[in-house]
Structure 1
Amino acid sequence: MRIISGKYAKRNLFTLKSQKTRPTSDKVKESLFNSLGQFFAGGQVLDLYGGSGALGIEAVSRGCDHAVLNDVSRAAVAIIKKNVALTKEADRFDVTNMPAKVALKVLAQKGRKFDLVFLDPPYAKQQMVKDMTAMKQLDLLNDGALVVAETDDQTDLPAIAGFDLLKEHHLGKTLVRFYRKAAE
């Protein structure tokens, strides 16, 4: 697995050797970022289930200002820190080790707001709805914020209040859904 494009392009990333994480493949990552518009003019990123940190690091590589990379697993956080070190710009990343629910509350208490959020939880359907609802209630999203939700192709998500489903991409057994925070 590697950084595909941007400032940190072609750097190989460390991954966790575990059945508990499912790194987003380079093919899925490339398609996902093609759908997002390739490059960014700033913005704040949250990867709530960071795994290796690849999605958040890729977003910063492509022009986002800063990323918060969170994971509940200490082993995953150790890998994320190694990958952030590869960028030689650790100040552009915050790495946290908390359950998602706690991380969202802590970020809200700090007044953080995000433009792009990656969600790839292990128990997708129930957790994504809870996470997106919490982000809305805690006012963690800037106007027009995008949420990218990655699941297997068997997971059916209901409509989520406060979000508009923009598009879905089937990539093999992976389904990536793009949501925009609805205008208030």
Structure 2
Amino acid sequence: MRVVSGNFKGLKLKAPKNNLTRPTENKVKEAIFDMLYPINPQSTALDLFAGSGQIGIEFLSRGLKKVYLNDFDRASFRILKENTYKFDKNTYMLTNKDFKKALKFYKENDITFDYVYLDPPFDSDYYKISIQLINDYELLNEDGIVITESDKKLNLDEKYKLFLIKEKVYGRKIVNIYQK
């Protein structure tokens, strides 16, 4: 696993040695960032279920102003800290919280995002819960984008206030990009 583009292209990243995470393949990471191009460096991003932090680190490598990375699992969080130590501490913030508590923390601290990346356990309802809380807490900026990586198409109805703008299928994975 490595950083695929930007200032830290080629940087090797560690992955947790457990079955709780599914590292995103390099070709899928490249495709995600190709779909998001161009990325405004003055933006903020959230990787809510960060695992090793590779998606958040891709945002950092592309020069984003601030990236927030969260993971609740202790082993994943340990790897997340190891993978981010090379970066300027002013450009990222790590949290080790349940995703609901993390979102509440961001709300309480008036933190909003231009990009939110969601890749929770595939067989969970965390996608819709996360998006609902992001809406309820008003965490997504005006032209904000939500990126989901899932094993099936997410059917988000109008109550989620997001519109599908891009979709790509990679084997069993689907990457959806929604805009507010």
Q: Equivalent residue for 1:75? A: 75
**Which string of whole-angstrom CA distances, capped at 9 and with x for unpartnered residues, describes residues 94-126 of structure 1?**
110011011000110000000000000114562
The runs of at least 4 consecutive aligned structure 1 residues that moved more than 3 Å come to none
How far apart in 2 are the matches of 1:155 and 1:166? Answer: 13
Contact conserved, 1:148 with 1:178, CA < 8 A, in 2?
A: yes
Q: CA RMSD in A?
A: 1.4
- Report matched runs for 1:98-117 at 5 Å: 98-117=97-116
Structure 2 stretches lacking a partner, 5+ long: none
Q: Equivalent residue for 1:159? A: 157
Contact conserved, 2:64 with 2:91, CA < 8 A, in 1?
A: no
How far apart in 1 are the matches of 2:110 and 2:39? Answer: 26
Contact conserved, 2:156 with 2:162, CA < 8 A, in 1?
A: no
Taking a change above 3 Å as real, the CA distance of residues 36 and 58 of structure 1, as seen in their structure-2 partners, is same
Instruction: For residue 81 of structure 1, give the secondary structure of its aligned residue in structure 2.
Output: helix
- Report matched runs for 1:102-181 at 5 Å: 102-123=101-122, 126-152=125-151, 154-161=152-159, 162-181=161-180
Instruction: For residue 145 of structure 1, give the secondary structure of its aligned residue in structure 2.
Output: strand
Instruction: For residue 143 of structure 2, give the secondary structure of its aligned residue in structure 1.
Output: strand
Q: Equivalent residue for 1:25? A: 25
Give TM-score scaled by structure 2 length.
Answer: 0.94
> Which piece of structure 1 moves more, 154-163 or 165-174?
154-163
Post-superposition offset of 1:155: 4.7
How far apart in 1 are the matches of 2:19 and 2:123? Answer: 16
**Which string of whole-angstrom CA distances, capped at 9 and with x for unpartnered residues, describes residues 126-176 of structure 1?**
211111111011011110100000001x35433252111111110121100
How far apart in 1 are the matches of 2:138 and 2:77? Answer: 25
Q: Equivalent residue for 1:15? A: 15
How far apart in 1 are the matches of 2:101 and 2:44? Answer: 19
Taking a change above 3 Å as real, the CA distance of residues 38 and 27 of structure 1, as seen in their structure-2 partners, is farther
Q: Would you say how many aligned residue pairs link Structure 1 and Structure 2? A: 179
Taking a change above 3 Å as real, the CA distance of residues 44 and 11 of structure 1, as seen in their structure-2 partners, is same
Instruction: For residue 15 of structure 2, give the secondary structure of its aligned residue in structure 1.
Output: coil
Post-superposition offset of 1:5: 0.8
Post-superposition offset of 1:91: 2.2
Q: Equivalent residue for 1:54? A: 54
Taking a change above 3 Å as real, the CA distance of residues 160 and 122 of structure 1, as seen in their structure-2 partners, is farther
- Report the identity percentage: 35
Q: Equivalent residue for 2:35? A: 35
